[in-house]
Chain A
């Protein structure tokens, strides 16, 4: 990552740090240009990380931040014995394990479909993309009403079709899966767009050559399409996975973590312990552990899948 000075400098005053030589005037203007960003990043990007690191080893409480005592590894020890964490981790794992394949498959499938269908192509693209325009809060509130037990549209339909009313978000066995579906429904159109542009970038002559060689459509898909969009797939998979690990708004708005803690996710639990229970020290400790977990998964996947060449 070589950053060379390209602009001609008027002053030739120079100074050295280590082995690198800098033009004084250029350095001053460079730092001044970047200063607002540097200052704000230090306060709101690095300081929060530092504060988490610091508070994780204390009994800090939101109500008495001035009286903080060092407790060593107590918070971490507590985290490993906390049944709520086991529950939140399990819920998050189920969510990630369900939503990632569903949303990935849906977005790739939709992109392949759109790439093939010629009629109404623009209409279809907009139709699949419309849920993306809804914010997570709006999506959550909309589906909350659609899935309402007594008067929701879905239950009304089920009853017309002769089925039994479902609990959906109020049923501990269904709530998490409802959130999985809603999240995939809202997000799939976005990744579809990424896949679609990757598909359209595949050179057409590859397919022509393949069809001359009598390759079937399925063989073409396996041997041309998939390898061509592999970097995009890796990229989408990793961003989707990290996004799924961070799920928070949907349970926050729709269920508040309930019923019976069945939709309490890690991110929401970290927020809840820190803000609602005011247990900043403990919240920081779990946030650290969770960051470590996500980072390991994401870096591991990057390594395993050969990295994404898009960046």
Chain B
């Protein structure tokens, strides 16, 4: 980065030349950056754009437009013609609507239970001194350090012994293992430890019970951590695949993620319909990301979860 070159010519000209050169370099770098950004955008976006645009097409339209630029656009600009695959999806696969409802049900139950169970435990670890509280914290930290590989098979066996893998009881068997999460307990504990205990002391002196303190004082004051855990639980629960496909051989109990594979592997394959089902399953997550961005960015950078 020389600003003045040491030559014999008049240095005034040199400065001008250097200026022009630097400007050229600057413009070149800028153009390179624009091209790079455009290329990266294409790589990251084209599959998703293709997924959404083809969900608006019938199977014939998908193949007719595959080899042209139209493959990345809706079939026409008449929005009323877009929904053929979507309506066909719900009529051809009678359980598709049911699987959406299943997913919503499984997610809501999981979120409520995860928040309740883990926040209470986290609070106990943060504020109470009881036999085993230290051991529990140490064990949590240890388990977070050591990754335990695939507990799917042993969990399935435990559920078998508990009688929770039958047709009707599988729902309970599927949900229960996800309720207690040592990681979330630890997150709650850290958050509660960072809160000043004076407010709780005051409430206690005014005669509030411990459970009352938790629900009336702590809960309203720690909305951010509840929101973060709820969002991550939602995403984990909505996207869960392995355990769900093991627990629910019967399509009418399957959550959306598993049901998708049924649509995807059915013959003859209808790509428009497959893409419609994939798009539908992604919408809730996209909505959460758009509206809860703040919590996600905080949660991601704070915990580096997932």
Contact = CB atoms under 8 A, between A and B. Distances in A.
9 contacts: A22-B129, A26-B128, A26-B130, A36-B121, A51-B158, A52-B154, A146-B50, A160-B67, A299-B146
Interface residues of A, number: 100
Contact of B154 (A20, A55, A151): A55
What range describes how many residues of B lie at the interface? 35 or more
B242 to A, nearest CB: 6
Given A30-B130, A135-B238, A144 B264 contact: yes
Given A36-B120, A45-B180, A130-B48, A141 B278 contact: yes
A34 B120 contact: yes
B149 interface: yes
A117 B149 contact: no
Nearest to A288: B149
Name the residue in B130, B153, B204, B214 with the highest tally of chain A Cβ atoms < 10 Å from its Cβ: B153
Interface stretch (B35-43, B73-81, B91-99, B222-230): B35-43
Contact of A49 (B1, B148, B200, B211): B148
Given A128-B44, A143-B47, A145-B271, A242 B150 contact: no
Among A7, A36, A151, A216, the most chain B Cβ lie within 10 Å of the Cβ of A7
A153 B71 contact: yes
Given A33-B123, A141-B264, A185-B43, A136 B155 contact: no
A222 interface: no
Question: Which secondary structure dominates where chain A touches chain B?
Answer: helix
Nearest to A295: B146
A271 B152 contact: yes
Given A45-B180, A193-B297, 5 more contacts: A26-B129, A127-B44, A136-B239, A138-B278, A271-B153
Contacts of B158: 43-44, 47-48, 51
A267 B150 contact: yes
A40 B44 contact: no
Given A117-B33, A135-B238, A198-B301, A8 B147 contact: no
A41 interface: yes
B149 A294 contact: yes
Given A29-B210, A37-B180, A48 B155 contact: yes
A7 B204 contact: yes
B5 interface: no
B121 A275 contact: no
B154 A284 contact: yes
